[in-house]
A = this chain, B = another copy of it.
Amino acid sequence: MTKLIPKNHPRAHSLHVRERLVNAFDDGLVAKEGLMAHGRGEAFDYLIGEKTSKSAKSAIKAAAFALVSAKYPVISVNGNIAGLCPREIIELSKQNILKVLHKNGAKDILGVDRKNSTRISGLDSARRIVDKNGIYVADVVLVPLEDGDRTIALKKAGKKVITFDLNPLSRTAQTADITIVDNVVRGMRELIDTCVKMQKKNLRNVPFDNKKNLARSISEIRTHLSRRAKSA
């Protein structure tokens, strides 16, 4: 699909990202439900003003520290993530920050070899199947754009869970240890940069309270809404 998006269209950038996802759908990478999930993300991104908020930056710092200082950090890549930011995922793995990847063209791909598959409890679908060299042994798991059930199961399995979720009220957002309320295309870039900086400067952790930070995200949306309402 190569549609011409007018440069002066008020939502040109968002339309380009959308096109990327439609291409990923055409390539069989993204499901129909994934297209709808992307639409939900677009709406929430619109409501946070389509920029990385202060609360998202705090969460990114906490996430970078958790990833850099983890023993066995793992990133779980689903179709939407692979369609939206494949380069960033590979770059993140090349920084030696994340040793393991799922379902994408990076060097260490786990979760695709059946003889290594095992299960985590509390899930009744294909999503409970994880690689025993991957999520199963991980201490810190980055699961961007994940669903609530799986996030809860990962928490129960004792993992430290980091997620990207544009809806600060979702079960995933509320369950994870660190929730980055940001567009993953934007936020992943910031996460990589922050990880690189931390490795160089040996930055220390700062206290992070996910619930408080999520409340801040909600308050940012409310502020943005009233600002937009005034200019409408």
Contacts and interface: CB of A to CB of B under 8 A. Distances in A.
A112 interface: no
Interface stretch (A34-42, A85-93, A101-109, A189-197): A34-42
Stoichiometry (number of copies):
2
A225 B214 contact: no
Contacts of A36: 18, 21, 35-36, 38-39, 42
A214 B41 CA distance: 22
A22 interface: yes
A44 interface: yes
A232 B174 contact: yes
A213 interface: no
A171 interface: yes
A22 B33 contact: yes
Contacts of A41: 39, 43
Nearest to A230: B215
